[in-house]
Amino acid sequence: MTEEISNTPEPLPHKRRPRYAGKNPRRFEDKYKERGSDTATIAKVIAAGKTPAGTHRPIMVKEVLEILAPQPGNTAVDCTLGYGGHAQQLLPLLLPGGHLLGLDADPMELPKTEARLRALGFGREHFSVHRSNFAGLPQILAKSGRTGADVILADLGVSSMQIDDPARGFSVKNEGPLDMRLNPQRGLTAAALLQKISADALSRLLVENADESYAMILGAALAGKSLNTTTELADAIRAALPPRSQEEYQLSVRRVFQALRIAVNDEFSALDTLLRFLPSCLNPGGRVAILTFHSGEDRRVKKAFFTGQQQGVYADISEEVVRPSLEERNSNPRSSPAKIRWARRAAAEM
Ligand SMILES: C[S@@+](CC[C@H](N)C(=O)[O-])C[C@H]1O[C@@H](n2cnc3c(N)ncnc32)[C@H](O)[C@@H]1O
């Protein structure tokens, strides 16, 4: 007797759609349509001035491309690859013959971005990916056998994927562990930093990293405390402050989060190192553009470019910052605080 083999597949067990309260999902885990490939949902989210979960909308792309003027055959570096939004636009302009080195400190998002850009057809000959802090740019260039780049971009801070993922602990909007590390395999979490820092050191950090006016009160209230989630930190900030409007509370909460994130990731020292090495990483005539999102970053870039121009390293620098258009700010409110400064390295002496 031969065994009868049926070609009819077993019916799949019925899977219930995840439920969420209200018309639209609010929690990151429930935004499965945005995180998948439901193009209609993604278009709707963008039209509402939001960023689809698990993605990032690149800022001032047109302005960045105009400033950097990438040419076929150029070597370009994207110091902050993120979702690859800027890189995706830069890459075709480097062809034929050019190469883009994409750096990012985040080991969680980087492989996803590499896969996305490879799927768009950018092979290893034209696009390489480096899990590295941008402070190590000279070493990355040397290892790849290059003496410099014609185009360098740095879009500072964190991506929307990082901000919106509650597990990363960057935002008060989502309850999550108080982590904030760009590389979750390294260094102290924000919770551990808070527990070991002194009140004085925390107050200084709140002023230096975020111009927080209630730095003394908050330093005393938060230092040494065991605050393990984003919500616990936000509640402790509100409890420590004198009575204020809801808006003012929110501003202080945002500033404390920003100050801690900068400290956890040593962001200013990475930026200072990059700015110091930049002239030696640029080929003669090479262009650099830096997008900053708050005064602590912008001050540093402005000063480094000005000093470089005085010393004759840069032939030209931005006189004024470039800002997003009103249209871009309306369509993507996360672009609002962005400023671009640029510099052009002097051409080689003949
Ligand atoms: C604003 S996002 C960049 C978005 C990107 N331009 C795009 O269009 O998708 C900033 C990225 O820089 C990375 N980053 C921040 N500081 C860094 C550092 N010191 N070294 C390397 N990467 C860094 C973050 O992990 C994040 O992915």
Q: Domain-by-domain residue ranges, the chain?
A: 61-160+267-345, 183-264
Q: How far is the CA of 156 from the centre of ligand 1 (A)?
A: 6
Whole-number pLDDT of residue 33: 60
Whether the CB of 106 sits within 6 Å of ligand 1: yes
Rounded (to 5) percent helix, strand, coil in the chain: 45, 15, 40
Whole-number pLDDT of residue 60: 98
Specify the pTM: 0.88
Q: How far is the CA of 102 from the centre of ligand 1 (A)?
A: 10
The residues pairing with 322 across neighbouring beta strands, listed in sequence order, are 340
The residues pairing with 131 across neighbouring beta strands, listed in sequence order, are 104
Whether the CB of 110 sits within 6 Å of ligand 1: no
Contact 254, 46 (CB under 8 A): no
Q: How far is the CA of 81 from the centre of ligand 1 (A)?
A: 6
Distance CA 63, CA 334 (A): 16
Whether the CB of 103 sits within 6 Å of ligand 1: yes
Contact 140, 148 (CB under 8 A): no
Contact 102, 89 (CB under 8 A): no
Pocket test of ligand 1: the residue of 79, 103, 131, 182 to mutate, having most ligand atoms within 8 Å of its CB, is 182
CATH topology of domain 183-264: DNA polymerase; domain 1 (1.10.150)
Pocket test of ligand 1: the residue of 104, 264, 271 to mutate, having most ligand atoms within 8 Å of its CB, is 104
Task: Tell me whether residue 349 is exposed, middle or buried, using C-beta atoms within 10 angstroms of its C-beta: 0 to 12, 13 to 18, 19 or more.
Answer: exposed
Taking the chain (350 residues) in runs of 10, the rounded mean pLDDT of each run is 36 52 60 60 64 86 98 98 98 98 98 97 97 98 97 97 95 94 97 98 97 96 98 97 92 97 98 98 98 97 98 97 98 96 85
Whole-number pLDDT of residue 174: 86
Q: How far is the CA of 84 from the centre of ligand 1 (A)?
A: 9
Whether the CB of 297 sits within 6 Å of ligand 1: no
Q: How far is the CA of 17 from the centre of ligand 1 (A)?
A: 34
> Hey, whose CA ends up nearest to atom 20 of ligand 1?
133
CATH class for the domain made up of 61-160+267-345: alpha beta
Whether the CB of 56 sits within 6 Å of ligand 1: yes
Whole-number pLDDT of residue 52: 72
Q: How far is the CA of 62 from the centre of ligand 1 (A)?
A: 19
Whether the CB of 58 sits within 6 Å of ligand 1: yes
Q: What is the DSSP letter of 115?
A: H
